[in-house]
């Protein structure tokens, strides 16, 4: 019996660290891994200027919803509604414009002086709808594509403040012309946006 006591003591000495380790609470293990926000929703003011002098500037609101895809690449959907005028005969008439599109952008996340900034470059394709105020004119829609650049920065928690410039070439349909196929005029819109966003 006395010969077994040193052996038992040695076995217990070897097992003691494992037992203590198993009973130690895993308080030092993080409960979750930090994950960058996947979505961003931005709402703001938009102003459109035209390459045709017959058209005045249009103002309204813009909405952009984007989702992280991989790396700095994001998929996005944008929508804007603007009040201004549109081509009608040899002049222009009051109209509401709707621009909707889907695209992709590259927006790397940079940190400078503790401020998180995301420059952005992208392209989208969609449609531009012109809805004239006069009942005698027809609502017209045309395919449109756009390229855009912008930047946004974190201002407080998940809130961001951003600027964007969108260049939208198109062939605009004349709302005064009758029939399903009407003459169109090549022009471009330049849309400037400032918006407040949230990341989640």
Structural domains in the chain, sorted by start: 38-199 (2.40.160.20)
Confidence label for 15 from pLDDT (cuts 50, 70 and 90) = low
CB contact at 8 A, 32 and 167: no
* Separation between Cα atoms, residue 110 and residue 94, nearest integer Å: 43
Contact 87, 97 (CB under 8 A): no
Give the lowest-confidence range in 11-15, 27-31, 101-105: 27-31
Measure CA 8 to chain center: 68
Q: What is the pLDDT of residue 154?
A: 94
Measured between alpha carbons, how far is 29 from 39 in angstroms, rounded to an integer? Answer: 27
Q: How far is CA 103 from the centre of its chain?
A: 9
- DSSP letter at 134 equals S
Distance in angstroms (rounded) separating the CA atoms of residues 49 and 98: 14
Give the predicted TM-score (pTM) of the model: 0.79
């Amino acid at each position: 019996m006395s010969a077994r006591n040193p052996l038992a003591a040695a076995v217990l000495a070897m097992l003691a660290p494992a037992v203590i380790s198993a009973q130690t609470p895993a308080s030092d293990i993080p409960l979750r891994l930090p994950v960058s926000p996947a979505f961003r929703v931005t709402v703001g003011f938009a102003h459109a200027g035209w390459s045709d002098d017959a058209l005045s500037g249009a103002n309204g609101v813009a909405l952009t919803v984007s989702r992280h895809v991989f790396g700095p690449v994001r998929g996005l959907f944008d929508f804007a509604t603007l009040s201004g005028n549109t081509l009608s005969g040899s002049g222009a008439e009051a109209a509401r414009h709707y621009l909707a599109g889907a695209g992709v952008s590259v927006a790397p996340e940079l940190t400078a002086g503790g401020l998180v900034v995301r420059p952005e470059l992208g392209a989208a394709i969609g449609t531009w709808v012109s809805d004239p105020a006069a009942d005698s004119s027809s609502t017209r829609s045309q395919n449109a594509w756009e390229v855009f650049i912008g930047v946004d920065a974190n201002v407080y928690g998940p809130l961001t403040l951003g600027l964007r410039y969108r260049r939208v070439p198109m062939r605009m349909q004349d709302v005064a012309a009758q029939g399903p196929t009407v003459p169109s005029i090549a022009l471009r819109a330049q849309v400037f946006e400032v918006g407040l966003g949230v990341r989640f």
